Chain A
């Protein structure tokens, strides 16, 4: 996938290092020395000659297209025909005699290059940079009957990829044998006994699906339509005209939704429009959008000197961004800081975005989980919609429904009318189809079952609220426990922040000490997962934090 180098001239635009990748960075830097030949990982040029639209205009495919109004159900994942791309060169087409370079045998969009000289065996012309081995007639002598039977060399230059930092910490926690070890690293809810929690309504829904003998057929490319409809009502509210104004597809949870949105924007809004993410943000955001080919830049968000929102800085940076930029916003319960704008501040942000003709890309991963109230947690993007700011919404059901592993989410784009909606849906389908054809059905069936049953829905809201309430309680208790432990720092940000995480303000050294001395596992940016705290480990953790922060500062 393409990476682009961003303009680093502005002071607030930082190098997009992934803060959460710290563990792997050293290892990765070491790896970088060991280069793949030719291009090293992540810097390959894409063949710019491959242009989709010309390939899409094949006559057979046009014929099918005329008889189709819009995509129907995908019953058969084999149903795309080769009519899709009939002009792909065959071997015979590509092999040309010398001197035929200017007369392409096949009408492909790529400028033709002579890749073969038929006299000798395939020789690669000098402007082909890709060859991992130059192919000359000599090379054929590499393989004869005297060789051993393994074909070597295919993978030998592949370097080890850097490990995922967070998973590395989770693994370390697992391996640790300290009796009081605490995992406050991974962002998955835990009950007061420290156990994973499957919502009772989720279990009920699963049971119902089993009883109903649910089929296992393919979902349509855009996913389960009933599920998507429910999800949209859940997000935008009952009054929203989904049918005419929201193009929405089922996605692979939040990551998948961000990825689809990023793909869509890179292809159709133009990769010259950068996406601005808050500083800091969920580490994977940067990787996702870079992978889509977007320029990724940061706007100021969190003020480490005050452990609070840097509202002025945020507005300045959003204003400075060129018109039509994409602004990524966490709908609520900002990850990792837990620090959200107030409603008044949201209004100002939305107004600024509107005046700059920016696109607001909301990432909503905690609706209902942040305050305990699903309506309240949707206020930010609903307000943007009401102000007619064009938005994209990445929606995840991982946390609020506890469906982490089943990968349930949606990507939606609010648009002007139903014609635009249909067009956008068609583009989204064409992105999804060559990615994974259609989304997995189990998670969406569960969510749909719950949201379409009034009784189950009511129970669900209460279960979700309970999770949020327990976390709020833990915040309060942690602050109190820190005071009891004798800490004189201002820990009020812990109770002011919202959602799964608390951005404590501890630095890397303190975090390392917590892990090494006390077997408390967290990310080195001082972010702790509140869900990992419970009445059993609270005092232990508070005392440990007090120990490592005593006499030091927790503001930058």
Chain B
């Protein structure tokens, strides 16, 4: 974790406060406002969009809609707990399991199943037992452990697509890595900026970390085609880069977990020694359980295990060991063929509903009279639609129509329902015509 992460002037302020506190404390017996060591503190900048919910909650317009939430909602706009998850919980209750600490690396059975889920059981490195990993605190936790690990082992930069999930940047920066971007999305054409992306990748120095979204790129929803992935794989190999995948939507993007893992599996087949973070927040609907995995493909078994031992060194002084319940739920499902099939069906159900909403929204926009090209809404994949609305339009949509989405025009399709799609389409059309 990085120390000098606040400016010198702020530090000086606090040191002054500390000194002042030290001399003043004799004078006052009460911890008043001024004699407290925290009195000079200022408000930290807030998480930019986290407050979206707050503003939305304060709005009492009856037809208000929020499409900022990155958590799945059913067609009634309600949170959805997968039935297979409920069943798994019941099974676990009946088993009367203890609540002892799990290992630093988490539940071994869970890690084993999680890795097989993404790499595929018949993957060569899996067969050769050279893919190993740890249970992680969902995606964020896995990314942070990875960032700390790589910073500790000589890395100073990481290359991420532009744009990327916002939290990537503070995660890696706080790990001690400098974040750099490679071009990814062309806002003009609402499409992948493939040519420039390849140009930028070719300029990345050898040995650098390159982060890629395994599927359902967040926020744009634009993924490379298989041919494009192939070219990326070859170039990255030629450049000698270190590929790292953020896999947060496996199964949730296309509805088929095997399909959603194709990019990752291709890289592995091509011989890359990849590392990867998986989140089970979206596909299993286990947002609050904080369940994920961080893994590496080693040149051999021993190497992969050594890297895992180093991961544990990062984890132990951070939180000792991970929470058990989420891991137990996923394990219960994935180790049972029927529950696994249920999961696949329910996950596909979520993806299908989202895709239906994409089509519906595009149709409704045309119906509303919009002459703009909204093809990107159905071209994009995953939870979000990168609408192309600019900030002013987004703000107007909030104020005039009480439709809330993030400032970059990113719409969470999960928040769109058959009940509100008309309203949303009209709002979007109104601010963009």
Query: Assuming the A-B contacts A76-B412, A164-B104, A164-B316, are A435 and B144 also in contact, with contact meaning beta carbons closer than 8 angstroms in the complex?
Result: yes
B39 with A46: CB separation less than 8 A: no
Contacts of A344 in B (CB 8 A): none
Determine if B176 and A1 form an interchain contact, defined as CB atoms under 8 angstroms apart. yes
Q: Which residue of A lies closest to B169 (CB)?
A: A85
A-B pair count, CB < 8 Å, reads 504
The answer to whether B188 has its CB under 8 Å from any CB of chain A is no
- Size category, A interface: 35 or more
Question: In the assembly, what is the distance between CA of A437 and CA of B270, in Å?
Answer: 33
A421 to B406 Cα, complex, angstroms: 28
B122 within 8 A of A: no
A291 near B317 (CB under 8 angstroms)?
yes
Shortest CB-to-CB span from A363 to chain B, Å, is 13
* B residues near A77, Cβ cutoff 8 Å: 70, 138-140, 167, 281, 287
- The listed residue (A75, A215, A287, A427) touching B69 by CB distance below 8 A is A75
Binds B, one of A438-446, A485-493, A494-502, A527-535: A438-446
| B341 / chain A contacts, CB cutoff of 8 Å | none
When the two chains form their complex, are residues B303 and A270 in contact, meaning their CB atoms are under 8 A apart?
Answer: no
A151 lies within 8 A of B271 (CB): yes
Pairwise interchain contact B306-A130, C-beta atoms closer than 8 A: no
Cβ of B318 and Cβ of A259 under 8 Å apart?
A: yes
Q: Are B207 and A135 in contact (CB under 8 A)?
A: yes
A111 at the interface (CB under 8 A from B): no
Is B372's beta carbon under 8 Å from chain A?
Answer: no
Q: How far is the CB of A98 from chain B (nearest CB, A)?
A: 15
A256 lies within 8 A of B319 (CB): yes
With A151-B240, A158-B153 known as contacts, the answer to whether A79 contacts B406 (CB < 8 A) is: yes
User: Cβ of A415 < 8 Å from any Cβ of B?
Assistant: yes
CB of A447 to closest CB in B, whole Å = 12
A267 and B139 in contact (CB under 8 A), knowing A217-B71, A287-B316?
A: no
* Residue in B46, B152, B169, B410 whose beta carbon sits within 8 Å of that of A44 in the complex: B152
Tell me the bound Cα distance from A122 to B155 in angstroms: 16
Give the Cβ gap from A101 to chain B, nearest Cβ, in Å.
17
1/0 per residue, CB under 8 A from A, across B1-13: the answer is 1111111101100
Cβ-based interface call for A320 (8 A): no
Contact indicator B181/A155 (Cβ below 8 Å)? no
Interface pick from B86-94, B252-260, B357-365: B86-94
A95 touches B203 (CB 8 A): yes
A306 interfacial contact with B, CB 8 Å: no
Of residues 20 through 52 on chain B, the ones whose CB sits less than 8 Å from some CB of chain A are 21-22, 25-26, 29-39, 41-52
**Interface with B: A56-64, A448-456, A464-472, A507-515, which one?**
A56-64
Q: Which of A205-252 contact B (CB under 8 A)?
A: 206-207, 210, 213, 215-219, 221, 252
The docked-state distance in angstroms from the alpha carbon of A63 to that of B86 is 41
B224-232, B320-328, B331-339: which one contacts chain A?
B320-328
In angstroms, how far is the closest chain A Cβ from the Cβ of B73?
10
Please tell me if the beta carbons of B183 and A74 are within 8 angstroms of each other in the complex.
no
Given contacts A51-B6, A434-B167, contact A416 B180 (CB under 8 A): no
Q: Tell me the minimal C-beta distance from A205 to chain B in angstroms.
A: 12
B171 part of interface (Cβ distance < 8 Å): yes
Q: Which B60-118 residues have a C-beta within 8 angstroms of A?
A: 68-71, 79, 81, 85-86, 89-90, 93, 96, 98-104
A272 to B176, CA, bound (A): 20
- What 0/1 pattern do residues 137 to 149 of A give for CB contact below 8 A with B? 0011011000011
With both beta carbons as reference points, the residue of chain B lying nearest to A268 in the complex is identified as B14
What's the dominant secondary structure at chain B's contact region? loop
What CA separation (Å) do A48 and B326 show in the bound complex?
Answer: 37
B181 touches which one: A37, A54, A91, A122 (CB < 8 A)?
Answer: A91
Q: Is A105 an interface residue (CB 8 A)?
A: no
In the complex, what distance in Å separates the CA atom of A72 from the CA atom of B408?
A: 19
User: Residue A434 contacts which of B18, B46, B170 (CB distance < 8 angstroms)?
Assistant: B170
Which of A405-413, A516-524, A547-555 is found at the contact surface with chain B? Answer: A405-413
Docked CA distance A255–B322 (Å): 11
Beta-carbon contacts under 8 Å, A62-118 to B: 62-65, 67-85, 88-92, 94-95, 110, 115-116
Is A72 a contact of B152 with CB atoms below 8 Å? no
Residues of chain B lying within 8 A (CB to CB) of residue A293: 1-3
Is residue A15 within 8 Å, beta carbon to beta carbon, of the partner chain?
no
B162 within 8 A of A: yes
> Is B369 engaged at the interface, CB distance under 8 Å to the other chain?
no
User: Is B426 positioned at the interface, with any CB of A under 8 Å from its CB?
Assistant: no
Question: Out of B41, B46, B57, B101, which one reaches A268, CB within 8 Å?
Answer: B41
**B25, A357: Cβ atoms closer than 8 Å:** yes
Distance A381 CA – B65 CA, assembled complex (angstroms): 47
Q: Does any Cβ of B come within 8 Å of A402's Cβ?
A: yes
Is the CB of A343 closer than 8 A to any CB of chain B? no
Q: How far is the CA of A142 from the CA of B238 in the complex (A)?
A: 8
Q: Are A291 and B1 in contact (CB under 8 A)?
A: yes
> Quick one: which of A133, A152, A388 contacts B29, CB cutoff 8 A?
A388
Contact A92 B200 (CB under 8 A): yes
Encode contact with B along A406-430: 1 for CB under 8 Å, 0 otherwise.
1100000111110110111011011
Chain A contacts of B54 at CB under 8 A?
68-73
B419 at the binding interface (Cβ < 8 Å): no
Indicate with 1 or 0, residue by residue over A246-290, a CB within 8 angstroms of chain B CB atoms: 000000110110010001001111111100000000001001101
* B152 CB contact (under 8 Å) in A41, A122, A268: A41
Is the CB–CB distance between B103 and A405 below 8 Å?
no
A156 and B313 contact, CB distance less than 8 A: no
Contact in complex: A221, B50 (CB < 8 Å) = yes
Does A132 make an interface contact (CB < 8 A)? yes
Given contacts A160-B309, A324-B19, A430-B45, are A36 and B203 in contact (CB under 8 A)?
no
Which among A69, A142, A215, A216 is the interface contact of B240 at CB below 8 angstroms?
Answer: A142
Report yes or no: B317 in contact with A255, Cβ–Cβ below 8 A.
Answer: yes
List 13 A-B residue pairs with CB atoms under 8 Å apart, sorted by A's residue number: A51-B7, A77-B139, A122-B206, A133-B207, A155-B304, A160-B309, A198-B98, A218-B288, A259-B319, A291-B317, A292-B1, A435-B141, A437-B290
